[in-house]
Amino acid sequence: MTAIARTNQAASSAHDADAHQSHAAIANRLKRAKGHLEAIVTMIDEHRDCAEIAQQMHAVIRALENAKTVFIHDHIDHCLESTIGPVDRKQRATIDQFKTITKYL
């Protein structure tokens, strides 16, 4: 087994062993966004004001983007750290910089 395969296997085992702490909160955010999106479909069906509909669409998009950010940051914290172990202050700063740049994904 190659070193990469062992690392991937270890990461997968660590990922499976521990639940991500934020997943329940992310699922709740997505459920709220789903309800909001369904309300927007109703607004369209009812021929509501276009500006109001666009505003609500923007709100749903922002909610999804925020959920994605939390999801990605949790993945970085949970999976990366479970693979490499505890990190020192300098390593934490590097991880935090990486998390900051993920907003451009």
DSSP string, 10-38: HHHHHHHHS--TTHHHHHHHHHHHHHHHH
Domain count, the chain: 1
**Axis-axis angle for helices 50-75, 23-45 (nearest 10):** 170
Give residue 35's domain range: 3-104
Domain CATH for 55:
1.20.58.1000
Tens-digit pLDDT profile for residues 18-41: 567 788 999 999 999 999 999 999
How would you class 85 by CB atoms within 10 Å of its CB: exposed for 0-12, middle for 13-18, buried for 19 or more?
A: exposed
Tokens of 49: 């004001």
Specify the pLDDT at position 62. Answer: 96
The model's pTM: 0.68
- Neighbour count for residue 40 (Cβ, 10 Å): 19
What is the percentage of the chain residues whose pLDDT exceeds 70? 82
Specify the pLDDT at position 39. Answer: 97
Specify the pLDDT at position 17. Answer: 46
Lowest mean pLDDT segment, chosen from 15-19, 29-33, 60-64: 15-19
The mean of the pLDDT values for the chain is 83
Residue 48 vs residue 6, higher pLDDT: 48
Residues 101, 69 contacting (CB under 8 angstroms): no
